[in-house]
Amino acid sequence: MNTKPILGSIDANRVRVISNLSLQIDNGLLQEWHCETIKAARPNFVTGGVYRISGCTRIEGGIDRSWSLMLKVILADLNRNDPAHYNYWRREIDAYESGYLRHLPAGMKAPECYAIEANDDGSVWLWLEDMTHESRAWQWSDYAYAATKLGEF
């Protein structure tokens, strides 16, 4: 998939800083990094793109560690600027800024948010943890469990 439009906007030093946060280190040296577009099955009006950024960082002792992050681009949308709107463009941003996602019920976890960046074009970039996921299809019991946990929230 074509990642050229976003690649020119991503600063390698910013990638270094965010990857160091994900590795929980201070002085890692970025060795290499790559960007892959994640295609959404149903694109959202306020999502400008989702990208997996992965690479390798040299840490203390000359050891190379791999890492992977998600970058989600959220587009400002004046037609969806009311928090009561079903597709309010800042909802995910506000959820991360509020801190609520750090206090989910047991058994639920939101991706760690390493940084929130407002850009000159009005877009907001969320730098998120790349969470592993199950490759199996969900059963009805999985949906019931998730619904119960969301009800607790």
Whether the predicted pLDDT of 3 surpasses 80: no
Is residue 48 within 8 Å of 76, Cβ to Cβ?
no
Helix then strand count (H, E) for the chain reads: 4, 5
Whether the predicted pLDDT of 34 surpasses 80: yes
Instruction: Record the pTM.
Output: 0.86
Provide the pLDDT confidence category of residue 5 given band limits of 50, 70 and 90: low
* Residue-range definition of the domain harbouring residue 103: 4-152
Domain count, the chain: 1
Q: Residue 118: which of 98, 86, 89 has the closest Cα? A: 89
